[in-house]
Structure 1
Amino acid sequence: MRNVVARAWLAFAATVCEDGSPNLSPKGSLRVYDDEHLVFMDIGSPTTVANLRRDPRIEINVLDVFSRRGYRFKGEASFAGPGSPEYDWLNAWLLDLNGPGYPANEVVLVKVDRVRPVLSPAYTSGNAEQSALTAGWEERYRTTLAEVPLGPPPAAKATDR
């Protein structure tokens, strides 16, 4: 699990808005803190923070796009500010990664209650070996990123229909 979280440079945190609707927010600072907790920095997520202060339930989805596996973490959030071990640990990593002046309001500390795997159908059908799948997707991303068209597709001709 730790490796998947470390390789996933973007995670998504789901919280519940005051009106009961979902809020989904990207998190680029998610890290495993210890065997029971995940942490991410409140960098610019006022809606996520407000939702968690009112209702601490949270689900975080993490996916390593190359290995095609990930996890869904469910738990409850609390907060830790500057001077706390959690804040100082995560802030040091963010400063090393992004340089000084990076915004860091407080740490959201997630006590994980439940973990579920997210797997590609290639694994569940029994036709996958992780290193081969990872290498294949890394190559696919490398070659297709250069070929991704920008803008709308060309209009279809009447003869194409």
Structure 2
Amino acid sequence: MAKLTEDMKQLIADGFPFIATVDEAGNPQIGPKGTLRVLDDEHLIYNEETGRQAWHNLQANHKVAVAVHPYPGMKGIRVEGKATIYTEGQVFDDAHQFAVDKKLPDLIGAVVITVDRIVSLDAGPDAGKELANEPVKD
């Protein structure tokens, strides 16, 4: 797995993330995920609350991309990886407690994303530069 730096973790904490998934016909979908946060150096997590398109897409295809670019700002990253869905167990319980603590809607699942690849979304000459690429072998 690729590792997030402290600067990347702060960028994720400060920014507003969007996730991209694809449906069974290969159609792309993108949407905001306000609960997305860093779980550890190699994983992101978010609380799935709506159970709509992204949730549907991740049931069949676990590939996901996350884009974070704070506004205003000229720096950003895209994280690519695979999602694992938890509907019970410690990961789910911790995500539920996060929702309670933040006074958020209850979740239907916790989605953990492995950090396989990180790409710069900075404005300027570093746009699209690969920063890390260490996919987990299936």
Instruction: Tell me the TM-score normalised to structure 2 length.
Output: 0.77
Could you tell me how far 1:81 is from its partner in structure 2?
A: 2.2
Could you tell me how far 1:11 is from its partner in structure 2?
A: 1.1
Could you tell me how far 1:70 is from its partner in structure 2?
A: 1.4
The alignment status of 1:35 with 2:44, answered yes or no, reads no
**1:109-130 deviation line (CA, Å, top 9, x unaligned):** 1111000121123x85xxxxxx
When residues 97 and 68 of structure 1 are mapped into structure 2, their CA distance, relative to the original with a 3 A threshold, is farther
Give the letter aligned to residue 70 of structure 1.
G
Give the letter aligned to residue 31 of structure 1.
R
Normalized per residue, the structure richer in helix is 1
Give the letter aligned to residue 110 of structure 2.
V
Could you tell me how far 1:53 is from its partner in structure 2?
A: 1.4
The alignment status of 1:105 with 2:108, answered yes or no, reads yes
Secondary structure at 1:103 match in 2: coil
CA separation in 1, counterparts of 2:98 and 2:10? Answer: 16
Instruction: Tell me the TM-score normalised to structure 1 length.
Output: 0.67
Give the letter aligned to residue 104 of structure 1.
L
Could you tell me how far 1:38 is from its partner in structure 2?
A: 0.5
Q: Whose Rg is larger? A: 1
Question: Which 5+ residue runs of structure 1 have no aligned equivalent?
Answer: 125-161
Question: Which 5+ residue runs of structure 2 have no aligned equivalent?
Answer: 1-7, 127-138
Residue 75 of structure 1 is matched in structure 2 by 81
More RCO (CA 8 Å, sep 6+)? 2
Residue 134 of structure 1 is matched in structure 2 by none
Return the match for 1:55 from 51, 58, 61.
61
When residues 118 and 106 of structure 1 are mapped into structure 2, their CA distance, relative to the original with a 3 A threshold, is same
Secondary structure at 2:101 match in 1: helix
Residue 135 of structure 2 is matched in structure 1 by none
Return the match for 2:13 from 6, 27, 33.
6
State the number of aligned residues. Answer: 119
Q: Is the 8 A contact 2:82 2:113 kept in 1?
A: yes
RMSD: 1.8
The alignment status of 1:88 with 2:88, answered yes or no, reads no
Could you tell me how far 1:46 is from its partner in structure 2?
A: 2.0
Query: What's the % identity of the aligned pairs?
Result: 29
Residue 22 of structure 2 is matched in structure 1 by 16
When residues 33 and 23 of structure 1 are mapped into structure 2, their CA distance, relative to the original with a 3 A threshold, is same
The structure 1 segments of at least 4 consecutive aligned residues displaced by more than 6 Å after TM superposition are none
